[in-house]
Chain A
Amino acid sequence: MEAAVSIRRLSKKYGDFLALDNINLGVEEGKLFAILGPNGAGKTTLLRILTTQFEPTAGEAFVLGKNVVSQSEELRKLISYVPQEMSVWTDISGYENLLIYSKIYGLPAATRKDSIKDSMELMDLSDVANNLVSTYSGGMIRKLELACAVMIKPKILFLDEPTIGLDPATRKTIWEKLKALNRESGMDVFFSTHYMDEADNYADEIGIINHGKLIKVASPYELKRSVGYDRIEIETDSEPSKHALADLKRLNGVKKVELEGNEVTISAKDSAALLDVIIECLLANKVHVRKISARQPTIDDVFLKYAGAKESKKAPVQLADVKKFRDRIRRG
């Protein structure tokens, strides 16, 4: 079987800034693949190289076995791409957008009307088909863009932050539709996101990227298992003494104790059995617990472990990106 995406030693430089740093990646066909990382990690750059918008500085990339540089023309017939920013014309209707895109993509005239109708129905847009896009909400615009993208029946769909700025209910419907499309018609989906929960819930495989480096690729389950421990977070009245922390560390089953101000984070094997003992231990050290919570590892923890920080501080977040993001939220 051909790989959906195959990347070897790929790098991209903007001047002195290394946006992608020696990426190697293989994604099988038929999967929903998430590339997860903070703003400015290199997600968009990677997607834009894979969709043949510009060339990498070094290395090579193949999509469906086609080289993104030397076979870009053939490749463009097989893919569909939804950029992070709005990609429909707002001064014509939703139907007209699909009509124009269907003509640009050269859908056969005989089946064009049906394709448009089907994709509008799929994205629940039939009722507003003839309204101007400028009257749509952010969620409707995103659905229209997805309708454009799936209308041409691509082999692989690239989505750049597809649910950015959308409300949870809309995010959920969009993902369920994409998942169904992937399962039913075998369309590969390669998407970027910085929402941990989306990667966790909908991706078959996740690639974690930060500072242009691909740090880890695995299924959500494997990733969570690789973190290993439950996390117990405790907020205390006062900063616990060194003695108290040492006592905590000695407790049976505790792996690691970290302190940040009045917040203690404990990594442990079986959190449920430990809560009582931990509170007792803290009280014995005259530290009062204000809040305590225990949870199994999540993708957040995975991300913290592999990417080190939630926000990438070094990466230059462009003003334009922030503006675009805000624009989308405002449309909400």
Chain B
Amino acid sequence: MREYIRIMLSMIELEIRRIMHDRTELYLRAVQPMLWLVIFGPVMGSLKVIPTGGVPYTDYIMPGVLVQSTTTVAIFFGLVMIWERESGILKKLVSSPSPGFAIVVGRSMAAGTRALFQALLIIPFAVLIGVRLLPNFLYIILALVIVFVASSGFAALSILIASILKTRERFMGLGQVIILPMFFGSNALYPLKSMPPLLQLFASINPMTYMVDATRGLLITGDTSQLALDIVAILIFDALLFLLASWSFKRIIE
């Protein structure tokens, strides 16, 4: 157990050190969510067609936009794995005493860390443009923990995909194909009730729905009635993908 924690912490430290040296990716990836908040939010909001339960529309979509951008960071972490496959880093790691499961969970949490840094850019920006967060420090911390944990699960998904697709070109194509359907098929931009039944069914198995519900409750509305369910759903998603990714991980270097 101690060995697993040591390896996970090393991977997280590695990621923090990389971020300290070069934050360009985080800044560039922050542009898109900022556009959602600055342009899409106010314009859609002014039409007043989406029932948000009295919350300004930009505030309503802020958690969804946050979740979309942090999961994007996590999903594209697979590119790092592909680079590490093309270089010899993964070969070196699998011949090290680190168990495959620890490597996969460690790398996933490294991506979760990167996603967390992304959140730390977006949340202050949202506040700056007038999104009103609940003034509850504990809730904000819990929301950040959820972003970290859930993004780690998405990173494991990207490691799984990387171990199947193996090349950069294929991966680039798929990355977008995953994020957007999950984003539109969730409660990020509109309530579940406004969706056709088939899409509602999809949304109910879409992990992003649970991330959005949890962070929206904690950051904006204060409605935490589903929070326990959200957390359980996210943990199941994480556990499943950690297992699948570490099972397929060895194939990535073959």
Complex: chain A residue closest to B92, CB-CB: A87
In the complex the two chains form, is A89's CB within 8 Å of B14's CB? yes
Complex: chain B residue closest to A158, CB-CB: B95
Q: Which residues of B contact A51 (CB under 8 A)?
A: 95
Which stretch, A30-38, A73-81, A165-173, A267-275, touches the partner chain B? A73-81
Docked complex Cα distance between A89 and B99 (Å): 20
In the complex the two chains form, is B92's CB within 8 Å of A83's CB? yes
What's the least CB distance linking A320 to chain B, in Å?
8
Docked complex Cα distance between A83 and B253 (Å): 12
Give the most central of B22, B88, B250: most A CB within 10 Å. B88
Q: Which residues of B contact A158 (CB under 8 A)?
A: 95
| A73: contacting residue among B17, B18, B92, B97, CB under 8 A | B97
A92-B18 contact given A73-B97, A84-B88, A85-B86, CB 8 Å threshold: yes
Which stretch, A98-106, A207-215, A252-260, A303-311, touches the partner chain B? A98-106
In the complex the two chains form, is B3's CB within 8 Å of A53's CB? no
Q: Which residues of B contact A179 (CB under 8 A)?
A: none
Docked complex Cα distance between A34 and B99 (Å): 29
In the complex the two chains form, is B10's CB within 8 Å of A87's CB? no
Complex: chain B residue closest to A96, CB-CB: B17
In the complex the two chains form, is A87's CB within 8 Å of B87's CB? yes
Q: Which residues of A contact B223 (CB under 8 A)?
A: none
B168 located at the interface, meaning its Cβ lies under 8 Å from any Cβ of chain A in the complex: no
Complex: chain B residue closest to A97, CB-CB: B14
In the complex the two chains form, is B18's CB within 8 Å of A91's CB? yes
In the complex the two chains form, is A53's CB within 8 Å of B18's CB? no
For chain A, the bracket of interface size reads 20 to 34
Docked complex Cα distance between A148 and B92 (Å): 10
Q: Which residues of A contact B95 (CB under 8 A)?
A: 51-53, 76, 79, 81, 158
What's the least CB distance linking B163 to chain A, in Å?
14
Q: Which residues of B contact A73 (CB under 8 A)?
A: 97, 99
| B17: contacting residue among A54, A92, A105, A324, CB under 8 A | A92
B39 located at the interface, meaning its Cβ lies under 8 Å from any Cβ of chain A in the complex: no
Docked complex Cα distance between A77 and B94 (Å): 12
In the complex the two chains form, is A92's CB within 8 Å of B92's CB? no
Docked complex Cα distance between A324 and B99 (Å): 27
In the complex the two chains form, is A76's CB within 8 Å of B97's CB? yes
A217 located at the interface, meaning its Cβ lies under 8 Å from any Cβ of chain B in the complex: no
What's the least CB distance linking B5 to chain A, in Å?
11
In the complex the two chains form, is B91's CB within 8 Å of A83's CB? yes
Q: Which residues of B contact A103 (CB under 8 A)?
A: 6, 9-10, 13
In the complex the two chains form, is A82's CB within 8 Å of B96's CB? no
In the complex the two chains form, is B87's CB within 8 Å of A53's CB? no
A86-B88 contact given A53-B253, A92-B21, CB 8 Å threshold: yes
What's the least CB distance linking A329 to chain B, in Å?
15
In the complex the two chains form, is A81's CB within 8 Å of B254's CB? no
B7 located at the interface, meaning its Cβ lies under 8 Å from any Cβ of chain A in the complex: yes
In the complex the two chains form, is A81's CB within 8 Å of B97's CB? no
In the complex the two chains form, is B21's CB within 8 Å of A104's CB? no
Docked complex Cα distance between A132 and B13 (Å): 16
A48 located at the interface, meaning its Cβ lies under 8 Å from any Cβ of chain B in the complex: yes
Docked complex Cα distance between A104 and B89 (Å): 13
Docked complex Cα distance between A83 and B87 (Å): 9
Q: Which of B196-240 contact A (CB under 8 A)?
A: none
7 inter-chain pairs at a CB distance below 8 angstroms, sorted by A residue, are: A48-B91, A76-B96, A76-B97, A103-B9, A104-B98, A106-B6, A106-B97
Question: Chain B residues in contact with chain A, CB under 8 A?
Answer: 3, 6-7, 9-10, 13-14, 17-18, 21-22, 86-89, 91-99, 250, 253-254
